[in-house]
Structure 1
Amino acid sequence: MKKKWLALLLGTSLALTACGSNDDDNAGKEPAENKETTTAGAGDAAKIYENKCSSCHAVNLEGGVGPNLTEVGSRLSKDEIEHVILNGQGGMPKELIVGDEASKVADWLSEHK
């Protein structure tokens, strides 16, 4: 009977160890919410846009849920675009992109005329 309990205890311990969290993958990394974006470490405005904006405005800027941005630079200045990014407009929530990245994306979008 003792062998059965010992086997059950060892088996349970082994199973719980195997099902534990894998903290080694995240060791030394900052949580994603502390970064401005997660894929645009190099600051590439197109990558930031793709990561944060393309789900509504489409990868090709043609719009979808959000408006068409293919010629947004002919309608709005860089500062006006950045204002919309930071403060939202219509159904667009504010601060999807902040700081330097918002400025980079606004500059990039202002070139689309």
Structure 2
Amino acid sequence: MKKWIYGIICVAFLGFITACGGGDEETEQDNTPSEKQEQTADAGDALFQQSCASCHGGDLVSGGAPDLDKIGSKYSKDEIEAIIVNGQGGMPGGILKGEDADAVASWLAEKK
């Protein structure tokens, strides 16, 4: 019986890890430099919805991961970006990188 419970816990944990990203695959984006410079807060929101909402919730509070609705009052933009790039606690690093991580960090830093 203990083996079954252990197996179920392992499968659930692996499902949680894969839902939050975890892959090392990088996709090529077809953005020109001028398009990337025009990114706004909407881009940060869109990137969050695409890469982070599965764990943190689309509304920043309804996921299984920590709530982010007031994260800007706890961390600075640079601290948030470091967490996105390097990971922290149960969150793996590298889900977003470079300008994408910067855009999401800027957007989240405004949540106070």
- TM-score, L = length of structure 2: 0.64
Matched, 1:34 2:11: no
RMSD, aligned CA: 2.2
Q: Say if 2:53 and 2:63, in contact at 8 Å, map to a contact too.
A: no
Whole-Å separation in 1 of the counterparts to 2:79 and 2:44: 17
> C-alpha displacement at 1:64, in angstroms?
2.2
Q: How does 1:37-48 map to 2 (within 5 A)?
A: 43=39, 44-48=43-47
Matched, 1:109 2:108: yes
Query: Cα deviation per residue 1:8-59 (whole Å; 9 max; x = unaligned)?
Result: xxxxxxxxxxxxxxxxxxxxxxxx83336xxxx8841111000000000000
For this pair of structures, how many residues does the alignment match? 79
- TM-score, L = length of structure 1: 0.64
Bigger RCO (CA 8 Å, 6+ sep) = 2
The structure with the largest alpha-carbon Rg is 1
Whole-Å separation in 1 of the counterparts to 2:58 and 2:27: 25
Identity percentage of aligned residues:
42
Aligned amino acid, residue 56 of structure 1? C
Question: Once superposed, which parts of structure 1, at least 4 consecutive aligned residues long, lie more than 2 Å away?
Answer: 32-36
For the residue of structure 1 that corresponds to 2:47, the secondary structure is helix
Gaps of 5+ in 1: 1-31
